C-alpha cells in the first residue's frame, strides 16, 4: 500500500502533463529520487497477488515457491532503499 501511495500521490503528479506539479523536476531528478519505483511497484503488486492466490489454495509449499520465483527481483528493493 505504501508504494501505491508514493506513486499515486507523489510520483504521478510530477509526470502527468495536466498536473500543477508537472515540470517542477526533470526526468533525471525524478529517477534520482524514485529509483526503480515503477518496476518495484509492478513487482510488489504481482508478488502480493501470487501470495494471495496461495492463501486461497491453502498451501504453504506454494508460498515458498512464490518467494523462490521472485527472489532474483528482490534486489530492486535494495536499489530503491539505497537510491
Give the 3-state secondary structure of 34-82: CCCHHHHHHHHHHHHHHHHHHHHHCCHHHHHHHHHHHHHHHHHHHHHHH
Cα separation, 39 vs 3, whole angstroms? 11
80 — phi, psi (to 5°)?
A: -65, -45
Q: What is the pTM for the complete model shown?
A: 0.71
Cα separation, 79 vs 32, whole angstroms? 11
Over the stretch 16-72, which tens digit does the pLDDT of each residue have? Answer: 999 999 999 999 999 888 888 889 899 989 999 998 888 887 766 688 889 999 999
Amino acid at each position: 500500500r505504501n508504494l501505491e501511495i508514493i506513486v499515486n500521490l507523489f510520483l504521478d503528479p510530477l509526470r502527468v502533463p495536466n498536473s500543477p506539479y508537472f515540470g517542477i523536476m526533470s526526468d533525471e531528478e525524478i529517477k534520482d529520487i524514485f529509483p526503480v519505483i515503477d518496476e518495484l511497484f509492478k513487482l510488489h503488486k504481482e508478488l502480493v497477488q501470487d501470495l494471495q492466490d496461495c492463501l486461497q489454495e491453502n498451501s504453504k509449499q506454494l508460498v515458498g515457491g512464490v518467494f523462490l520465483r521472485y527472489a532474483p527481483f528482490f534486489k530492486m528493493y535494495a536499489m530503491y532503499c539505497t537510491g
